[in-house]
Structure 1
Amino acid sequence: MAGPAGDWPEAAAATSARSVLGGYRTYARRWVFLLVISLLSYSNATLWLSFAPVADTIARHFLLSTEQINWLSLVYLVVSIPSGVVAIWVLDSVGLRWATTLGAFLNFSGSVIRSIPCMAIGIQDPFVLLLGGQSLCALAQTLVIFSPAKLAALWFPEHQRATANMIGTMSNPLGILVANLLSPILVKTEEDIPLMLGTYILPAGLAFLLATACLWESVPPTPPSAGAAQSTSLSFLAGLKLLTRNKAYIILAVCFGGGIGIFSSFSALLEQVLCVNGYSSEFAGLCGAFFIAFGVLGAVALGLYVDRTKHLTEAIKIGLCLTSLACVAFAVVSQLQGQPVALAAICSLLGFFGFSVAPVAMELAVECSFPVGEGAAAGLVFVLGAHAADGRPLRPLQLPPGAPLPHPVPAPAGRG
C-alpha cells in the first residue's frame, strides 16, 4: 500500500495513468464522508474537555470534588482501552459507514444525557448522569479517531491520503481548542452551565444527522487506487497476530502511542500543572490554545509536505525527536515561577512538532502493516496511547505555603 515516491505532480500523474488503465476512480462524495468524520471528531473532542476549563464552577454547582471533575475527562482514556479493540473489529468487519453512524449516535446520546442534570429537578446524584453521558461519548471516541486512516485508504487516491488523514485527525485537537476557549466564555456564573451543555449538543446532533442522511456506503463502487483495490484486510484475529510480529509497526506503535498518552494527559491536566506554580488559569488556557493552534498549523504543513514527497519515515523520526526535546523543556520550565513567555513558546513548539506527526503516523501505520485492516493498524496505536495516559486522577490541588490560590477549590460532595 505504499505510495509512489517522487514529487507530487509525478505522483498525481502516475495515479491518473493507473486510473485510466486499471479503472480506478475517485468520487466527490468522499469529501462529504470526510466532512462527517471531521465534524464528529470535532464534536467528540469538545465534549471531552468542555468541563476542564470551568472545573471550579461545575464542581460548585453540582457539589462535586476536584477528583470527580477530573474523572469526567479521564473516563475517555479508561473507556477507550477495552472499547478500542471492539471498535477495531467494528471498523474492519461491519464497515466504515455503520461504524461512523454508530459513533455519531453514541456521541449525540452522551451529549444529551450529560445535560439532564440541568433539565430535571430533584436529581440526587448528578455525577452519575454526567459520567454516564461522558462514558457514551468515550465509546464514540474509539470509533471516531480510528476512522480517518481507513477513510483515506479506501476513498482517496494515493497523492491525497496524507492530506485527508490530516484533516480528519486534526479535527480532534481543533475541538479541544474550541472547548478551551468557548467554555470559559459561555460559563461566567453557575446559571450559565445549561447554556454551555446545550451549545455542545448542537454539533453532536448535526454530525448524527449528516451521518444518518448522507453516508450511503462504506467503500466506493470503484477503488481510487491500486492500494485501495488490494485492501481486502485479513480477519480480525489474524490481523492482530500479524501486527504482533511486525517489528516496524511495534516500534511505531510504542513511540507514537506513548506520545498520544503524553498529549492526552497534557490537554486534560495542563491547568493543574501550571496553577500550583503560581500561574493563573487564564494563562494555562492560553498555553493550551497555543498548543493546539500551532499543532494544527504544523499538521497542515507536514501533511502537504508528505503528500508531495512521500517521506513518511523521515518526517516521523525528525518530528518525534523534536517533540521529545520540547517535552523535556516543558517538564523543566513548568516547575519554575515567573516564566510565562518561555512556557508559551515551549507549549507552541510542543504542539507544532507533536501534533504534526499524528496524521503522518496514522498513514505510516497503515502502510507498514499491509495487509492488516486499516482500522486495526490505526486503532491499536490509539489503544496503546490511552493505556499510557491512563492512571488515577490527580488529587485536589496542593499549593506551596503562602502561594496565591489560582481559583476556588470546591469541597467534596457531602461536606458543609
Structure 2
Amino acid sequence: MARDCGYWPRTGGDADDGLTPEGTGTETAGGLGNSTETARDGGDRRSSAGRTGDEPGTPGDGQRTAVDTGDGPMTEGDAVSGLGSPRTYARRWLFLLAVSLLSCSNATLWLSFAPVADIVAQHFLLSTEQVNWLSLIYFVVAIPGGIVAIWVLDSVGLQAATILGAWLNFLGSTLRALPCLAVRIPRPFAFFMAGQSLCALAQTLVIFSPAKLAALWFPEHQRATANMMATMSNPLGILVANLLSPALVKKGENIPLMLGIYIIPASLACLLATTCIWESVPPTPPSAGAAGSTSEKFLPGIWLLLRNKAYVILAMCFGGGIGVFSSFSALLEQILCASGYSSEFSGLCGALFIVFGILGALILGLYVDRTKHFTEATKTGLCLASLACLAFSLVAQLQGQAIVLAAICSLLGLFGFSVAPVAMELAIECSFPVGEGAATGLVFVLGQAEGVLIMVLLTALTVQRTDPSFSTCQNGEDSLDWTGSHYAVQAGL
C-alpha cells in the first residue's frame, strides 16, 4: 500500500496492514490510529512519540514509557525494543563528529581531480575521459556496493560500518598518492583508479549513516538538525576540493602536494572512528519513538520499498537530483574552461554552489523541524533547482558572464543541495517499517545509477567547436561545445 510521504509515522501504523509487528507501536498524543490524515496540521511525522515532552526522559502525553525487560549487552535490535527510560548521551556528538569528518574527507577525495582535470590530464598523459572516470568510478562502485552497504548498516551495525568506511577511505587516499611518492611507476592511472575505488566503497558505508545515526542517538527535536549536519558535511568536502585543488595545483609538479594534503583528514577520520566509536546504539534509546520503532529484515524491506509507490516516486525524483548535482560538480571545470573561464573561477562557482547549499540546508532543517512541512519543502526546492539548472545551461555557453554564472551557481546550491537532508528524512518517513539504512540507501543507489547515465550522456553529446575558441583548458585538446549536453539535461529535468 502506497504511503503519503508527507505523513507516515516511524513508530506506528495501520493495525491491520501487516506492516507493524504486534505490540511494537506507541500511542500518540492525539490518539492516532491510522495514517490517512494529512501532514498540514503540523503534527510530528517522524514518530508517534507525541507532541509534547520531547526533552530526554520526559515522555509526551499518551506515550508508553519503555520498560527494562532484560539483562546483557545492548544490541541494535534492543535499542528499538524499549529498554530503559528515554535519555540522551553526550557522546552522540562525538559519533556525529566522526561521521561528519569521514563524509567530508571522502567527498574531497572524490572531487580532488575534477577542478584541475586539464592539468592532471596533461601531466600524466591521460585523456579527459580517463580523468572523468576518476570521478565516475564513485557512481559505478556505489551501485553494487550500495546494496551491500545497506545490509551492513542495518544488519551488522552503525559502528562496524563507520569504522570499516574510515579505513577504506584512508587506504584509498594513500594508494592514490603512491605514483607521486614512488619513482618510475609506469601506470599511475591504475593506482588512481584503485584508490578511488576504495574511497568509493567507503562512501557507500558513510553516506547512508546520517539518518540512522540521527534516529538511534538523537531525540525527536534534534533529529533533522543532526541529520542535516552529518549530511551537509559531504558537500562541505566538495567545497574544500573546489577551493583547495585549484589553489594548490598551478602546474603538474604540484599534484603530489595536493594528494598528500588530502591524506591528512582521511587519517584523522580513521583515528577518530577507530578510537572513539564504541557502540552502534546507546544503552538507552533517546526517545520513546526510538524505543518503539521496528525494522523489516533486509530483503523483505527492499521488497516493501519497491512496492511503496510514494517512496519510489520520491527515490526517482530525488535520485535524479543527486545524479544531476554530482555530474555538475564533476564536470563544472571542463564546461567553463571551454567558454574561457579559469579553473580558479570554476572552483569559486563550485564553492558558491556548496556554501549556499549548506546555508539553505541549515535554514530548511530548522524550518521543517518546527513546521514538519517535509513534502512541501522538497517539492519546492527541486522545482526551483530545475529552473536554476536551465539558466546555467544557457549562460555557461557565453563569454564574460562571470557574475551571472556565480549567481546562478549560488541559486542552484541554495535550492538543490539544501533539499538533501530533508528529502532523506522524508524517505525514512514514507518507508516505515523498513530500516533507515535501506530507506536512504536505495535512494542513494538510484541517484548514483542516474548519475552514471547523466555523465555518460553529457560527455557523449559534446562536439568540437567550429567557431573561434576562447578555451582556457590546459590539456591541449580542442575546445568542446557542451550545448547539446545541457539541453539534454534540461529535457530530463
- Tell me if the contact between 1:49 and 1:73 (Cα under 8 Å) persists in the aligned partners: yes
1:407 maps to 2:448: no
Q: Tell me which structure has the larger Cα radius of gyration.
A: 2
Query: Residue deviations 1:341-383, cap 9 Å, x none?
Result: 2221111111001111100011111111111010000000011
**2:325 matches 1:285:** no
Q: Which residue of 2 aligns with 1:357?
A: 419
Paired AA for residue 398 in structure 1:
Q
Alignment partner, residue 140 of structure 1: 202
Corresponding residue for 1:197?
Answer: 259
In the alignment, which residue of structure 1 is the partner of 2:391?
A: 329
* Deviations, residues 189-225 of structure 1 (Å, cap 9, x unaligned): 3222221111100110111111110001111111111
Q: Which residue identity is paired with 2:59?
A: R
2:407 to 340, 345, 368: 345
Q: In the alignment, is the contact (CA less than 8 A) between 1:157 and 1:224 conserved in 2?
A: yes
Give the alignment partner of residue 222 of structure 2, picking from 134, 140, 160: 160
Separation in structure 1 between the aligned mates of residue 110 and residue 363 of structure 2, nearest angstrom: 26
* Cα drift, residue 6 of structure 1: 5.7
Does the CA contact (< 8 Å) of 2:338 and 2:473 recur in 1?
no
TM-score by length of 2: 0.79
Scaled by the length of structure 1, the TM-score of the pair is 0.93
Which moves more between the two structures, 221-230 or 203-212? 221-230
More helix by share: 1
SS in 2 for 1:390: helix
**Percent identity of paired positions between Structure 1 and Structure 2:** 70
Mapping of residues 219-230 of structure 1, within 5 Å: 219-230=281-292
Q: Could you tell me which residue of structure 1 aligns to residue 483 of structure 2? A: none
> What one-letter code is carried by the residue in structure 1 that aligns with 2:151?
W
Q: Which amino acid in 2 is paired with 1:403?
A: S
Matched residue of 1:234: which SS? coil
- Residue in 2 aligned with 1:78? 140
The one-letter code of the counterpart of 1:133 is G
Q: 1:263 pairs with 311, 325, 329, which one?
A: 325
Return the letter of the residue paired with 1:163: T
2:359 to 292, 297, 303: 297
What letter matches 1:52 in structure 2?
A
**Could you report, residue by residue, the CA deviation over 1:102-140 in whole angstroms, capped at 9, with x for unpaired residues?**
100100000000110011112111100011000100111
Residues 124-133 or 338-347, more deviating? 338-347
Change (3 A) 1:373 1:276: same
CA distance in 1, matches of 2:127, 2:415: 35
Partner of 2:70: none
Provide, for residues 276-333 of structure 1, a one-character-per-residue CA deviation record: whole Å limited to 9, x for no partner.
Answer: 2333333222211111110010001001111122221121122122112212222222
Give the aligned partner of residue 489 of structure 2. Answer: none
Rounded to whole Å, the distance in 2 between the matches of 1:18 and 1:227 is 10
1:123 alignment partner, one of 166, 181, 185: 185
Cα distance between partner residues in 2 of 1:156 and 1:259: 28
Aligned residues: 410
Give, in angstroms, the shift of residue 12 of structure 1.
6.3
Amino acid at match of 2:174: V
Contact 1:32 1:214 in 2 (8 A): yes
Which residue is 1:188 aligned to? Answer: 250
| Equivalent position of 1:374 in the other structure | 436
**Equivalent of 2:269 in 207, 212, 215:** 207
1:248 aligns to 2:248 (yes or no): no
The counterpart of 2:53, out of the listed 13, 17, 21, is: 13
| Amino acid in the other structure paired with 1:231 | S
8 A Cα contact 2:122 2:474, kept in partner: no
Match of 1:110 in 2: 172
Match of 1:217 among 279, 282, 301: 279
- For the structure 1 residues 177 and 213, does the alpha-carbon distance in structure 2 shift closer, same or farther, using more than 3 Å as the test? same
- Partners of 2:463 and 2:352 lie apart in 1 by 24
Give me the whole-angstrom Cα distance separating, in 1, the residues matched to 2:130 and 2:52. Answer: 52
Comparing 387-396 with 267-276, which one deviates more in the overlay? 387-396
Structure 1 CA distance, aligned partners of 2:187 and 2:239? Answer: 30
Does residue 65 of structure 1 match 2:106? Answer: no
Residue 394 of structure 1 aligns with an amino acid whose one-letter code is T
Deviation at 1:146, TM superposition (A): 0.6
1:11 positional shift: 5.0
The answer (yes or no) to whether the contact 2:173–2:266 under 8 Å persists in 1 is yes
1:231/1:373 contact within 8 Å kept: no
Aligned partner of residue 246 in structure 2, secondary structure: helix
More off after superposition, 386-395 vs 203-212: 386-395
CA drift of 1:400 comes to 4.1
Which residue of the other structure, out of 86, 89, 95, is the alignment partner of 1:27?
89
Cross-structure match for 1:272: 334
Query: Does the C-alpha gap of structure 1 residues 165 and 400 become closer, same or farther in structure 2, counting only changes over 3 Å?
Result: farther
Q: Helix, strand or coil for the counterpart of 1:405?
A: coil
Name the stretch that deviates more: 356-365 or 57-66: 57-66
Residues 124-178 of structure 1 show CA distances to partners (whole Å, capped at 9, x for unaligned) of: 1110001100010011111111110110111111111110110011001000010
CA distance in 2, matches of 1:105, 1:281: 32
User: Any gaps of 5 or more consecutive residues in structure 1?
Assistant: 412-416
Contact 1:109-1:133 at 8 Å conserved across structures: yes
- The 1:41/1:224 distance shift into structure 2, 3 A limit, reads same
**Counterpart-to-counterpart distance in 2, 1:333 and 1:188:** 27
